[in-house]
Amino acid sequence: MRANCVQICAQTLTFNMATYIKLSLDKRRKDIKIFPLIFRLTHNRKSTSIGTGYKLSASEWDDKRQKIRSSFKGTESPSRLNNLLQKKIARMVDILAKLEEGDKLKYMSVSEVRSHITRTTKKVTFYQFAEKQIADLIKANRIGNARAYKHALKAVKNFRNNKDFTFDELNLEFLNRFEKHHLAKGNKLGGLSVYLRTIRAINRKAIKAGVADKEGYAFDDYVIRSGKPEKRALTFDAIRKIASLDLEEGTAIFRDRNIFMMSFLLNGMSYVDMAHLKLSNIVDGRIKYSRKKTDEPYNIKIHDQLNPLLSYFTEGKKKTEYLLDVVKSENPIESYNQIVWARKRFNDNLKKLAELAGIEENITSYAARHSFASSANDMGIPLTAISQMLGHKRISTTQAYLAGLRKSKIDEYQDEIMDKLSG
């Protein structure tokens, strides 16, 4: 800072004694107990405020030291929040110092000074950044992710009545209010967890892009509650029952049984990825393909069990044609919608297959993938190998995938422990 024009005293930053900025509670309203925390800007004896996005009670604010007390419940780390606020003041002071050096400050009104500070320090808003991420995902043909981002953004806009905000306001209080708003409308916890994971992903990308402060990252303090139903992996016996069903060749259910088995035999390849497979992806007895979701490569050996299924889908096809004949358009949005509708019909037929095979579990397009992962885990295949087989970018994703082992397997482990104890 410039010593000739800036005097720092008790967190109050002063310019020639005529201009200063400090943190304070806005207590003008007497009918409330929780007050907005603001940057109070005073210039030529006139004052205005700049919001911080936080609200505190009087007991949670140390006015003498101009710091949030450790008793503040709006964050798990008041000290980290204090550091963030001091960084903001430092940025504002730097702007004021430059105006002073240019001999402009004394000629400006308080509203002009405020406008200059907020304009100069204005960051990319949450809506702006999220919209750009959606556009980038669509451009990269990651339509499923783009769709998830759109749904999360719509939920936030509904919560905020379309009022935009900066990442500074994406604090613990914001997340708690968003959660209450979502659940108060009778919505499920599963939907909430999906929205919050997407908001968290957007926040992380904003930090990486330099448009949000790491110190203000609220997800270190907020725990996303999982609302996912228990994943039900099928046993090898159940998989064999589906494979051995005597079905009429050429029917839709025959075709979808083959797709299900092909998914399992292709290391649990997702329906979306199988829908994008072309004959050209079959090279030297292997399937070579990159996942649509993560761009991680698949390189899978074609075993004897897989050959009859592949023959069913490859017969008469050209190198450029899709194996499943689901995708009809090269437009990424249109092709994604075609896959969504085809997957819905696929799931309907999987329910019929479960009934025919005498399987009680609810089977969806994800069952083959989870069953493959769970079976590999049960067989003691190393986690790193399972992660590569599934096409995961991170081991942590695979760990989360396998977190819910089948209850039957847990029962087996428990029986082993009890047998050891009784022996």
Of 82, 97, 120, the position where a domain reaches its end is 120
- pLDDT at 5 exceeding the cut of 70: no
The pLDDT tens digits for 31-48 are: 888 898 999 999 888 889
CA atoms within 13 A on the CB side of 377: 23
Residue 222: how many CB atoms within 10 A of its CB?
20
Helix or strand holding residue 125 (H, E)? none
The range of the structural domain enclosing residue 389 comes to 236-413
In a domain, 226, yes or no: no
- Which position has the token pair 């968290």? 200
Instruction: Let me know whether 135 and 106 are in one domain.
Output: no
Of the given ranges (134-143, 218-227, 249-258, 410-419), which has the lowest mean pLDDT?
410-419
Instruction: Let me know whether 371 and 396 are in one domain.
Output: yes
In a domain, 423, yes or no: no
* CATH at 333: 1.10.443.10
pLDDT (mean) for 5-20: 50
In a domain, 2, yes or no: no
Q: How far is CA 52 from the centre of its chain?
A: 25
Beta strands in 6-109 (DSSP E): 7-9, 12-15, 19-25, 34-43, 46-57, 61-62, 67-68
Residues with Cβ within 8 Å of residue 234, at least 6 apart in sequence? 242, 359, 361, 363, 367, 371
The alpha-carbon radius of gyration of the chain (Å, integer) is 29
In a domain, 227, yes or no: no
The span from the CA of 20 to the CA of 206, in Å, is 31
- pLDDT at 354 exceeding the cut of 70: yes
Helix or strand holding residue 290 (H, E)? strand 286-290
- How many domains are contained in the chain? 3
Residue 57: how many CB atoms within 10 A of its CB?
16
The span from the CA of 182 to the CA of 319, in Å, is 48
In a domain, 1, yes or no: no
Instruction: Of 112, 74, 122, 96, give the one whose Cα is nearest residue 22.
Output: 96
The span from the CA of 39 to the CA of 58, in Å, is 16
In a domain, 419, yes or no: no
The pLDDT tens digits for 273-325 are: 999 999 999 999 999 998 887 778 888 888 888 899 999 999 999 999 999 99
Residue 320: how many CB atoms within 10 A of its CB?
8
- pLDDT at 355 exceeding the cut of 70: yes
Instruction: Let me know whether 289 and 177 are in one domain.
Output: no
* pLDDT the model gives residue 351: 94
Global pTM reads 0.60
Distance linking the first and last C-alpha atoms of the chain: 75
* pLDDT the model gives residue 19: 85
**What are the φ/ψ torsions at residue 241 (nearest 5 degrees)?**
-60, -40
Pick the more confident residue, 336 or 228: 336
Of 120, 155, 173, the position where a domain reaches its end is 120
Instruction: Let me know whether 143 and 111 are in one domain.
Output: no
Instruction: Let me know whether 134 and 241 are in one domain.
Output: no
Instruction: Let me know whether 266 and 396 are in one domain.
Output: yes
According to DSSP, the residues that pair with 25 across neighbouring strands are 37
Instruction: Let me know whether 258 and 389 are in one domain.
Output: yes
Of 100, 120, 140, the position where a domain reaches its end is 120
Helix 332-357 and helix 252-265, axial crossing angle in degrees, nearest 10: 100
In a domain, 420, yes or no: no
Instruction: Let me know whether 174 and 215 are in one domain.
Output: yes
In a domain, 418, yes or no: no
The pLDDT tens digits for 221-242 are: 888 887 655 556 788 889 999 9
Beta strands in 45-106 (DSSP E): 46-57, 61-62, 67-68
Say if residues 233 and 369 touch (Cβ distance below 8 Å).
Answer: no
The pLDDT tens digits for 362-394 are: 888 888 888 888 888 888 888 888 888 888 877
Instruction: Let me know whether 211 and 63 are in one domain.
Output: no
- Which position has the token pair 């069903």? 245
pLDDT (mean) for 354-358: 94
Confidence bin at 120 (pLDDT 50/70/90): low
DSSP helix/strand/coil, 407: helix
* pLDDT the model gives residue 15: 52
Instruction: Let me know whether 97 and 211 are in one domain.
Output: no
pLDDT exceeding 90 applies to what percent of the chain?
A: 35
* pLDDT the model gives residue 416: 66
Instruction: Let me know whether 241 and 374 are in one domain.
Output: yes
The span from the CA of 25 to the CA of 62, in Å, is 10
Instruction: Let me know whether 137 and 116 are in one domain.
Output: no
